[in-house]
Amino acid sequence: MIRSMTGFGAAEGTVGAARVAVELRSVNHRFFNATIRLPSELSRWESEVREALRKRVSRGHISLSARVERGVAGAPAIDEARFGAYVELLRQLRSRYQLDGQIDVAAVLRMPDVMSSISEGEDGDVSELIEIVDASAQRLATAREEEGARLATYLLDRLAIVEGALARIAERAPARLLEQRDRLRAAVAELTMGVAVDEQRLAMEIAVLADRLDVHEELSRFSSHNAAFRQTLSRRDGEPVGKRLGFLLQEMLREANTTGSKANDAQMLADVVTIKEELERIREQVENLE
């Protein structure tokens, strides 16, 4: 299944004596990029968490946030060193600015990282945290696959419109060449005012015109790109496809531009515009694919 780079996954579990909840959110990005926010009790394992995510996500900006659900793990622990540092800082501020009142213990306890639900000796093991990260990553992958399936359907619908326009161009092209030939003959006859014309030279000019306006090669290459695009969308090996689809889109747009420059026909140009519109819609969504 192809995967979107947009998704959400969450999981909970225990780390030591504490209950930990992990949430993952992802959006599109050219490469793997992770932003990890861990509470102080778990921050020493940030590198292990980052590496675990890297193994499970190929592309996308991943935001991971974890929280310790206080009150679930039994008696909380107080970081006395941090508590003392806050008290000393408050005393200095009170003295410096000549403030009245006493230092409120409850206020100090509410300051960052003073209290923890993971006590000394009960902080668990990194494998317990990685297990929760894995579970949330699996749910994220499921969400990304579901979104990827919806995007694939959308892209195939857009591609069908492109192929319909290409079919109309292919049908119109031969008649357009004949019309151009007749128009050239009529223009030459009008300019020469009945004077005899070298038919061999005229035939050569018509051949040059036909070669300049021929879009057969462009349509053939476009058809090959369309087939490759469909084949890539149907892959089931789990490999990222976004970059390959982006490359194919560049080639398709190049063929569309060349076809438009050769068209010299209002009907064909209208179909080229339709193709470019659909390719732009496809590009916007391909940027969201892993």
Each residue's pLDDT tens digit, 61-87? 999 999 987 554 455 677 788 888 888
Residues of the chain with pLDDT > 90: what percent? 49
Does the domain at 7-73+124-143 match CATH 1.20.58? Answer given as no
Long-range pairs for 281-284 at CB < 8 Å and ≥24 separation?
281/158, 282/155, 282/158, 282/159, 282/162, 282/249, 283/246, 283/249
pLDDT tens, 181-209?
Answer: 666 666 655 666 666 665 666 666 666 66
Residue 147: C-alpha distances to residues 227, 238, 247 (Å): 23, 14, 22
pLDDT at 186: 65
Per-residue pLDDT at 95 exceeds 60: yes
Q: 232 phi and psi, to 5 degrees? A: -65, -40
Run of H or E residues at 72:
none
